[in-house]
Amino acid sequence: MDQYTPEYTKEQLTEMITGKLQRNFGCTVETANNNHMFKACALVLRDIMSRHRMATNNEIWEKQQRQVHYLSLEFLMGRSLEKNAYNLGLLDTLREVLEDMGFSASDLFESEPDAGLGNGGLGRLAACYLDSMTTLEIPATGYSICYELGIFKQKIVEGKQVELADNWLGLGDAWLIPKMEETEEVRFGGQIVDSWDEHGVNHPEHVGYTAVLAIPRDMKIAGYQTKHTNTLRLWDAKSPLPVDMSLYSRGEYLKAVEQQAMAEVIAKVLYPDDNHYEGKSLRLKQQYFFVSATIQSITRKHKAQYGTLRNFARKHVIQINDTHPTLVIPELMRILMDQEGYGWDEAWHIVTDSVCYTNHTVLAEALERWPQKLIEDLLPRIWQILKEIAARYQQELERRYGSDMGKIAHMAIIWGGEVRMANLCVCACQAINGVSALHSEILKRDVFRDAYQAEPNKFKNVTNGIDHRRWLSQINPRLDALIKDCAGEDRYLLHPEALRDFEKSKDDQSVLQRLETIKLENKRRFASYVARESGIILNTDAIFDVQVKRLHEYKRQLLNVLHIIHLYQTLQDNPNMEFTPQTFLFGAKAAPGYHIAKEIIQLINSLAAQINGDPVCKDKLQMVFLENYRVSLAEKLMPASEISEQISTAGKEASGTGNMKFMMNGALTIGTLDGANVEMHQQLGDENIFLFGLTTEQVNQRKREGYRPHDIYLHNPALKRVLDQLTTGFSDGVSYSDLTQRLLFGEGGSQADEYMLLADFDSYCAAHQRALTAYGDRRLWNQMSLINIARSGIFAADRSIRDYARDIWHVPTRK
């Protein structure tokens, strides 16, 4: 692609927006409201990207380029107006146009709802990767479901999380282009009738099924400084059957629209709870719906171009993002055999040459296993294919391991009435990767040990990365300006490794002073936002210590809370002690069915209410839970943060990406040697990160030797006092004795202190002390902050995508 220069002047952009207002909304600049103006701007940018996409499509077709298809049930896109304008080189022009028209650009950007089509890190990673794939000019498409309701809006009522519906499509659908002519049909239920021809070939016929239409709604993805444009295809679900008017006329209104409702529920809500049969059934429907529609669409277009699917693997690579899209494997087999008439071996060869799998977790409960009966009933033909894959794989395992049923049982695809998705990926995929060096090693030596020993070349590592243009340049413009002044203008935006040149300024006092001033301005800006939103006044003279991420026990928000209780008790004992002011900020959503996580949110709010209301803590200790944590809130918070809490139990976090965003914005990490923290430590050395806690090996060893948290409780007076306070509760009168019980003795079959909070408590407190000592030396702290920024380039998504392109996808990238 040619070097990209902005195509539109201020006058042209003004004319295009004015035209959209008139044609689409029947209003002028003077009569338009904020919603009209937002949609007009979005439609103008969408038109520009659509034109670019047509040119990109032509180039892919003419050059017969290999395409990447990135399948993920989550894409946490956040807001798009500012991001798209930035990538198109039109952000400053758009701001000027809006201000001249009498609209506040920042208010307009702020009015856009987050496209919250994901729960957390997995979906945000997919969004960052789409941006990098496009910027690096890789022909790529993302695929997911067009959820009507994204991740819930979180409301805190009396300290507890309440989930509200998040209807993002009101304004968000301005970005979506329906492609009715590319609708696919997905079939559920029914039976398979075998039909053998005279050559002994079976032509299975699917009868008695329920059909659901998958309608594509495409979101265009702009790259940075390139006209190359990719697509995120979101599938919407509709029934092919019209409303039964005879039922309607008899007054049976609900029955008349029942088929529509049954179909449309598939795309209604992001991930239903799956702790009951109906939830499991709907999740499986969602997964099959989106992979079936996707692979039908890809194969249809391929055949239109090449007339055959025999060269499919040379022209396409399918990346499975976690186990959710795994059914793409049997679905592609179904198309190749049932529709194209290929034999098993030829079809399997094509599938195994085109599908790759990224594992995102070592937690056993997150490696999906589906009840066999559910798949038999919902997907009868897929079940037949799965049985055949499983039987052939089991024969291979028996040849490999003889009568070692332990290994065979561990690696089997169907076992004990369950279908194991991760094992299906290991069997069928040509490449399997973890998402940090530590995580990939754990996959090799533990989770998939036997498979790795049999086929070591399949296993790779690609450490996660973040969109540094969004998470540094766009959200922290003053820091961006400082880096450009010190490190060669904007070279780092396309070459993140150039951030390293910033380190040459680490001894320049004027640069360090500017860095400190920028951080303070960002803290004040964030504090004024929080005051506007919630009425809470943050102490900007205190160090901002931040833990924001999905709430899960292994991420150990509870350890953070235990330390804050300890600080509070210390302050109560000696109110006049020397005390570095500290503001602890939390942001987290708990899965609606995850009761312990929801209780920890309530605990955070209980403790915060007591601390913030106690005169002893005034201007010293503050604790705030930030309601409804989401991408747009993170974009305001990251530039203001000073300490980043990355404190998961070693060996549990696959990678983490929040840790990278904090590092890139100059926050210093208090963390365990877990996930990508390990590689951050390699970049930073001991002196620029505050490590604590057991290593993965030490965690495993303590568990093997018999970990007894109650003994720690009995022999550590400070910790005992903290846990006793937890049992008693705080000023709201709520006791958290069940959390104490869980830590000391275990509960409901869980191990006592399963995530080793008590084992790491003293070490964690000591790490905080080291951090506060460093914070007191302003020159030292600012140098450490600068070094963190300068060495963060390796954690850019551009580097990750180049790794995928070189080692897994085998596609070229922009130089």
* Catalytic (active-site) positions: 360, 549-550, 555, 657, 661
Distance CA 418, CA 754 (A): 26
What number of other Cβ atoms are within 10 A of residue 65's Cβ?
A: 16
Helix (H, G, I), strand (E, B) or coil at 583: strand
Distance CA 78, CA 632 (A): 6
Distance CA 143, CA 229 (A): 15
Is the distance from CB of 523 to CB of 517 less than 8 angstroms?
Answer: no
Helix (H, G, I), strand (E, B) or coil at 145: strand
Is the distance from CB of 384 to CB of 418 less than 8 angstroms?
Answer: no
The one-letter amino acid code at 189 reads G
Q: How many CA atoms lie within 13 A of 690 on its CB side?
A: 26
- Which strand (E) or helix (H) includes residue 185? strand 184-188
- Which strand (E) or helix (H) includes residue 20? helix 10-25
Distance CA 178, CA 290 (A): 16
Provide the sign of the torsion angle of the four alpha carbons 329, 335, 338, 343, taken in this order: negative
What DSSP letter does each residue of 226-267 carry, written as one string? SS-EEEEEEEEEE-SSPP-HHHHHTT-HHHHTHHHHHHHGGG
Closest CA to 77 of 126, 112, 136: 126
The one-letter amino acid code at 31 reads T
- Which strand (E) or helix (H) includes residue 431? strand 431-434
User: Which residues are 184's β-sheet partners?
Assistant: 214
Is the distance from CB of 1 to CB of 226 less than 8 angstroms?
Answer: yes
Measured CA angle at 807 (ends 801, 812), to 5 deg = 60
DSSP at 507? T
Distance CA 149, CA 167 (A): 5
Question: Could you give phi then psi for residue 747, rounded to 5 degrees?
Answer: -160, 140
* Residue-wise burial string across 564-591, b where 16 or more C-beta atoms lie within 10 A, e elsewhere: bbbbbeebeeeeeeebeebbbbbbbbbb
Scan for tokens 């997919």, then name that residue: 126
Is the distance from CB of 787 to CB of 120 less than 8 angstroms?
Answer: no
Distance CA 646, CA 629 (A): 17
Helix (H, G, I), strand (E, B) or coil at 536: coil
| Bridge-based pairing state of the strands 229-238 and 140-145 | parallel
Closest CA to 112 of 170, 178, 191: 170
Distance CA 774, CA 768 (A): 10
User: Helix axis angle, 34-63 relative to 10-25, nearest 10°?
Assistant: 110
Distance CA 451, CA 399 (A): 14
Closest CA to 760 of 679, 677, 678, 702: 702
Distance CA 548, CA 630 (A): 10
DSSP at 202? B
Question: Could you give phi then psi for residue 723, rounded to 5 degrees?
Answer: -70, -35
Distance CA 797, CA 492 (A): 13
